[in-house]
Amino acid sequence: MDPWASFHLGPWSGLRRERLKDERFFLERHFPAEDRDLLFLGATELLSIEEDGTSPFEVWRGFLGDVAGWSYGILAFDLKNGLNDVSSRHSAPEGVPGLFWAVPRLVLERKGQDAFVHLPNGGPAALLEEARSLLGETLPPGRQSSLEWTLCTSREAYLARARELLAHIQRGDIYEVNYCIERRAKAIGWDPFLGWERLRSLAQAPHGAFLRIADHFVLCASPESFLRFDGDQVSAEPMKGTRPRHQEHELDARLACELRTDEKERSENVMTVDVMRNDLSRVARPGSVRVDELFAVRTHPGVHQLVSKVSATMGAGFGPVDVVRAAWPMASMTGAPKLRAMQLIDMAEDGRRGLFSGSIGWFAPDGTGDLNVVIRTLLHDAVTGTCSLSTGSALTALCDPEKEWEECQLKARSVIDALEA
């Protein structure tokens, strides 16, 4: 018997997010291109591992092997520690674990104009009524006070460290490195539910997510997919290359064309693609790794992005956890060669990245699954009343540190403007 059962609830009438405020664990995933949403509610079983925990991927594999059906969770960037002799000089951030994965008590799904609920077979009948109670008119997003952001790394410090990283590139130590900076804000009384309503509606991020783990909220407007699974097929869409949008159509089209043809942006992108191809080849059927798309421009409300697509067939004896481990952390957020880039990232940046540069994802009973890249993301700690927002860019031999600084600000503004519009 299938461990989960699915029911059609009728037409989708909206999600009453105010009913989620008492939930300690949930994940909402938003897929505007597919006209689909998923809401994972509760945690009947859960796994929580600190960033420096022992063998997190092996423990995760064991957890997934014991559960049949829907599951969801997060993986923090610094799960890299312990892989390939990589460590961090910074202390682990408090609050959000390095790896959290849970089995929900129900999954609510929107497909177009239809609502469905997925429930564990044999579960209480009240779950069906609970799912119906979540449907209803969505309240229009309200306004709240703007947050006052403070950069954790000054412009002068950023430029100095960027030039140090460029010196490593010029010596041939690395070819590309992703360098990131963080900003923080006091947010006493700030409502993450209102924040998500605005971010979701205005950013229209193709891999957006709203997550709660106890007192920590994640508002993610990610435009990037890390890994997607469908049976033994796996695909990745590394993203490297950014241009701002423009209100005038002709100038906007010119910026998109400039992005597609820019030598520096294309070199960033192709190096990331090469790293991902190499990562997937370790767990793929020989000869199955292929580049399906190279240098495609994807346009979002705030920016144009340069995206490529790599796919493969998983080799015999390998599963999704093996693929994630082989590709962790993702090439677009590290550099090339990946090992040396990670070491230099830790030297240059002012703290661990935590969930930023990590992944939020889910798996379904039919063998499908999806993990995003956690970028364009606001992290909110409801206990301390603080918010964090990190952004970065790729440094290569062709880059100008001043322009890379501006790119970091552009990416941050795309989130802040959506929250404050």
Q: How far apart are CA 128 and CA 306, in angstroms?
A: 42
How many other β-carbons are positioned within 10 Å of the β-carbon of residue 100?
23
| Residue 240 annotated in active site | yes
Q: Catalytic pick from 176, 197, 224, 407? A: 224
Is residue 146, in this structure, part of any structural domain at all? no
**What secondary structure does DSSP assign to 166-234, as a single string?**
HHHHHHTS-SEEEEEEEEEEE-TT--HHHHHHHHHHHH--TTEEEEEETTEEEEE----EEEEEETTEE
| Residue 80 annotated in active site | no
Give the global pTM: 0.94
Q: Which domain holds residue 46?
A: 4-138+151-420
Is residue 360, in this structure, part of any structural domain at all? yes
Is residue 128, in this structure, part of any structural domain at all? yes
Tens digit of each residue's pLDDT (9 = 90 or more) over 20-45: 999 999 999 999 889 999 999 999 99
Q: Are 71 and 64 in contact (CB under 8 A)?
A: yes
How many other β-carbons are positioned within 10 Å of the β-carbon of residue 140?
8
Q: Are 353 and 78 in contact (CB under 8 A)?
A: yes
pLDDT less than 50: residues of the chain: none
How much helix, strand and coil, in percent to the nearest 5, is found in the chain?
Answer: 30, 35, 35
Q: Are 375 and 357 in contact (CB under 8 A)?
A: yes
- Cα angle for residues 239, 321, 237 (degrees, 5° grid): 15
Helix (H, G, I), strand (E, B) or coil at 307: strand
Q: How far apart are CA 253 and CA 266, in angstroms?
A: 18
Is residue 125, in this structure, part of any structural domain at all? yes
Query: What tokens appear for 387 in the block?
Result: 């918010």
Is residue 202, in this structure, part of any structural domain at all? yes
Conformation bin of residue 10: beta by default, left when phi > 0, alpha when psi is -120 to 50? left
Task: Count Cβ atoms within 10 A of the Cβ of residue 247 and give its class: 0-12 exposed, 13-18 middle, 19 or more buried.
Answer: exposed
CATH code for the domain in which residue 105 is found: 3.60.120.10
The pLDDT of residue 1: 55
Q: Are 79 and 98 in contact (CB under 8 A)?
A: yes
Is residue 145, in this structure, part of any structural domain at all? no
Residue type, 138: T
Q: Catalytic pick from 240, 309, 338, 411? A: 240
Q: Provide the domain count of the chain.
A: 1
Q: How far apart are CA 295 and CA 397, in angstroms?
A: 19
Q: How far apart are CA 341 and CA 359, in angstroms?
A: 19
Q: Which residue has the tokens 């693929």?
A: 323
The pLDDT of residue 83: 84
The pLDDT of residue 27: 98
Q: How far apart are CA 213 and CA 24, in angstroms?
A: 6
Is residue 339, in this structure, part of any structural domain at all? yes
The pLDDT of residue 237: 95
- Cα angle for residues 10, 15, 20 (degrees, 5° grid): 130
Task: Count Cβ atoms within 10 A of the Cβ of residue 317 and give its class: 0-12 exposed, 13-18 middle, 19 or more buried.
Answer: exposed
